[in-house]
Structure 1
């Protein structure tokens, strides 16, 4: 029984200060997923483009990586389709050539098939007026021993075995690395021992040889700063079988075989899934029997290909385009009761998939197409 004094106190609480606050409803996984996508859509609405996973802006990079993850997950894509007013979840257009796979080539540098031996065609920016830095450059007395290296590197740029990639950070600056700074190619001929300044910071002197016959002993951090500020480039090799210290692993393209006992799956010969993963393939396929994208059944890894300096998802989309005519058409019911249509399963002999990847490595894939009747890759005419 509430006393009269307490009753009068409650009756006088016009502002509801004594009311028991309502317990907030806990957000579900679906709610969190939708809120995450709405943030991406808001970015597009404000900037007129999708967020990039490669920008230096941390906030945008997080949104770009999140969008890539959603595009790669068919379950998430299906759950977010009703919110995708800008078509952000659609697969990116497949590249028309190997060069378009190379990460960081947002400036169409590789479209210039000629003139790369002329240093005037290298990316240039207006140089800052820094007399201290200019004064540090002196004539290289033994430049003749380095000149052939620059000739070779320009030849590699011309034939596509090397390419220009936007500078990524201090870790790329190692002995033997090449860069383009203000339109001039730079070779890191040596990295000195670590020095500790009075403030406790560690620095390393470099021996930088410039293709104009000069050299500098700038600090490693100074070169990094200049390359960042002037949007410099690293010269990296594009061959899959030549992995250097400054090459960046970008993921895996994998081929899977279904172990399903469903007759509409098990009865199909040469049925393979072609996908990509930024992490290990084993981790990516964990719990495959519970996911529609894996046909609600365990899978077996048939092959996986480590990729470097490439947009792995673009390589995957290129393979999908080559084999689009033989994509499996089948529906799967997910744990949520919804019907899904997995889109990465193809009826094609494994040796042909291997051959297609070899053509991608050589750059010849743009000259071939898959003939479903002959079950082979044939030249485009």
Structure 2
């Protein structure tokens, strides 16, 4: 093939390709143009137009608090635009519904109430009317007096709380509705707002005179299982337990105390008021005994009896016993604290030697714990450690 033939062929191909391009009336063979780049202004306008379309379709503004996710996004977007003055100015030309117009500030409270467009200040349901609600009951102490603080010696109470939680999990104890102020006694355990509390001490009765009458009240020592304690009054705890649906922890094996049950006796804890240095110098010396009748009558002539160390005594705690022998409970307590029994010989009025057997060197709060553990039946898992002055769970100490 000659050079002239090659030129003729190339010319024919070019003519055919040009004819193909000329016949493409639909532009199918046009080269795609470079995609247009979106700026931040373009994205802002597109976002705002979606809000405008919502307003056109629903006749209201999108809410930023609704559970509808798509509407909540639009509502939040509009809130963000309204909070930015530069965005407001840039979007004014697209605001056909006046979404960006800021209302004038009300000149008075009446104007504010009259202009309550969305109704947040309205109260057609009466939800803001508190006239029918009961008045708040008065507390007995100021806020600062009953404030909780870290519990002193909490390690001594911790095993008791662990035991009670275990009993509740196993079903050997149960939570019952708070039965009333009479149940607030040493050794009682309650649950208040999800926190377990133990009544470690009940102080002596205080008398406070008012213009109407003389009120009696007792200061408590309440130990909470979160490691804090409070010195609130018995009446204050009773009010809180009643108002806040408090509960009492009761073992299932404990007999229910009915109105016709009779007290079978009393366990009492005494503190000696002797001025004998051999006795007054012993810290935490307590007598644990029982009586079928009045404890005060029982100790009337204590200063004449070696049982009471030939001196007056002070009653620091009493426990009422129902439907069981008080002497049995007393013997259990004596057995628990046998290692710290007082070793002392007394001489009675007739010159005879006498060894008092019901005096023990043990802190009062530990006695309270022991009574609670005996009542629940859990005392079999604990022993008293004289060195640490604590009731120690045998499974943990072994």
Interval of TM-score (by shorter of Structure 1 and Structure 2): 0.3 to 0.5
The answer to which structure, 1 or 2, has the higher relative contact order (CA under 8 A, 6+ apart) is 1
Q: Which has the larger radius of gyration?
A: 2
